[in-house]
């Protein structure tokens, strides 16, 4: 039997934080690709500490529902799940640990799908810039690296006149980017895993956004939903696990 374990951050305060993980798990469950699809969290139950005892399958694929490689994916998740590396044997179980979602090649496509959802039926004239919004932190350069990396991938496709990045907690600061980017249309997509305090409150407030579309004197700002809850992320999670399977199961033959 084969199981997929999706690891989310979860929250003690925000009931919506874990919702994308549950929704993606249900989508993957419906595909029948796995005998079991189980969710676990850092801040919610079931915890990472106990989830493996709840899995009946011997082949276990663990995919972190996190955007970037960093503190959680490299330190907290392996520690709490008791993982020794990409492959861990525990009793009869073989646990394969995949990388985060933001660094996966399909991520750029999900961002563009999110952008298409936002811009469907909206008319624009003049130059259009896509701005990817990341949390960022001065403590870990991988946090911003994944945003730059995806911006680069999208830039190569030439769909938008400009593709820029902006952050909440590091330079370049998002407010500055949105104001100064040389375009009449600014599409702002938060590269976040879930809706929450930042996407609903701090970002609209700090940028003076009035909803999905905000008219300023010299530009129109289109504010999209975060990438994480997009239904296509479920396929990305599956693909991440499948990649591990191809690399370590079939590749090993």
Partner 1 sequence: MSTAPVKRTSIPNVAAESRAAFAAWVDAHPDGRHFGQVLIRPESSGGYRLCHAEDEGATGLQLYENPRAAREIAKLTGDGEYRPLKSAPNLRRGWALLAADAGDLVTAMNGLYPSAVVHWYLYREGSLDITNYRENAARQSGIYKRVQRLTDQGVQNAAKACCEDAVCLKKTLWDVDEEIPLEMNRGEGEIPCPEPCSVFVSFARRVRLFERENKRDLDAIGLSPSEKEDLSALVEAAATGEVVMAREAEFEKPLNERRMRYRRLTLIPKLRPPVANE
Please say which residue, 14 or 179, places its beta carbon nearer to partner 1.
Answer: 14
Under rule CB under 8 A, residue 51 binds partner 1: yes
Residues near 1 by Cβ (< 8 Å), separated by ≥ 6? 35, 36, 56, 57, 58, 59
CA atoms of 250 and 253, how far apart (whole Å): 6
HEC profile of 134-146 = ECCCCCCHHHHHH
Query: Which range, of 45-53, 118-126, 158-166, 222-230, touches partner 1 by CB under 8 A?
Result: 45-53
Judged by CB under 8 A, the chain residues 150 through 209 that form the site for partner 1 are none
**CB atoms inside a 10 Å sphere around CB 209:** 17
Question: Minimum distance from CB of 78 to partner 1 (Å)?
Answer: 6
* Residue 26 binds partner 1 (CB under 8 A): yes
Task: Please pick, from the candidates 2, 11, 113, 206, the single residue that binds partner 1 as defined by CB under 8 A.
Answer: 11
For residues 84 and 159, which CB has a smaller minimum distance to partner 1 in the complex? 84
Contact between 13 and partner 1 by CB under 8 A: the answer reads yes
92 binds partner 1 (CB under 8 A): yes
Cβ 229 to partner 1 shortest distance, Å: 17
Evaluate whether 136 touches 168 at the Cβ level (below 8 Å). yes
Q: Name the residue nearer to partner 1 (CB basis): 88 or 128.
A: 88
Q: Is 248 in the site for partner 1 (CB under 8 A)?
A: no
- Cα-flanking dihedrals φ and ψ of residue 237, to 5°? -65, -45
- Helices and strands in the chain: count of H runs, count of E runs: 9, 10
Number of residues that bind partner 1 (CB under 8 A): 33
Q: Determine, following the binding rule CB under 8 A, whether residue 106 of this chain makes contact with partner 1.
A: no
Residue 234 interacting with partner 1 (CB under 8 A): no
Q: Is 82 in the site for partner 1 (CB under 8 A)?
A: yes
The shares of helix, strand and coil residues in the chain, as percent rounded to the nearest 5, are 40, 20, 40
How far apart are alpha carbons 186 and 215 in whole angstroms?
10
Shortest Å distance, C-beta 132 to partner 1:
26
| Nearest partner of 128 among 188, 187, 207, judged by Cα | 187
Question: CB of residue 201 vs partner 1: minimum separation in angstroms?
Answer: 16
Helix (H) or strand (E) holding 179: helix 174-180
The closest of 101, 166, 162, 164 to 136, measured between CA atoms, is 166
**Which of 30, 31, 33, 90 touches partner 1 (CB under 8 A)?**
90
- The residues of the shown chain that bind partner 1, judged by CB under 8 A, are 11-15, 22, 26, 42-47, 49-51, 53-56, 71, 75-76, 78-79, 82-85, 88, 90-92
């Amino acid at each position: 039997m084969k199981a997929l374990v999706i690891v989310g951050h979860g929250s003690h305060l925000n009931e919506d934080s874990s919702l994308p993980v549950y929704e993606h798990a249900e989508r993957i469950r419906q595909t029948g690709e796995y005998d079991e699809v189980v969710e676990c969290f850092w801040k919610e139950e079931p915890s990472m500490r106990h989830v493996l005892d709840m899995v009946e399958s011997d082949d276990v694929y663990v995919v972190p529902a996190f955007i970037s490689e960093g503190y959680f994916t490299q330190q907290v998740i392996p520690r709490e799940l008791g993982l020794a590396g990409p492959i861990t044997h525990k009793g009869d179980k073989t646990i394969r640990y995949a990388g985060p979602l933001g660094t996966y090649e399909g991520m750029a496509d999900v961002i563009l799908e999110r952008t298409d959802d936002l811009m469907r039926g909206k008319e624009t004239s003049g130059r259009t810039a896509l701005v990817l919004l990341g949390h960022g932190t001065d403590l870990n350069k991988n946090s911003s690296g994944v945003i730059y990396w995806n911006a680069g991938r999208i830039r190569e496709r030439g769909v938008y006149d400009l593709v820029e990045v902006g952050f909440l907690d590091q330079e370049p600061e998002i407010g500055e980017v949105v104001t100064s980017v040389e375009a009449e249309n600014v599409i702002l997509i938060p590269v976040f895993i879930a809706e929450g305090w930042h996407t609903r409150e701090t970002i609209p407030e700090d940028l003076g956004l009035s909803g999905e579309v905000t008219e300023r004197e010299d530009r129109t700002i289109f504010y999209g939903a975060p990438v994480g809850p997009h239904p296509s992320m479920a396929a990305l999670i599956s693909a991440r696990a499948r990649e591990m399977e191809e690399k370590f199961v079939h590749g090993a033959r």
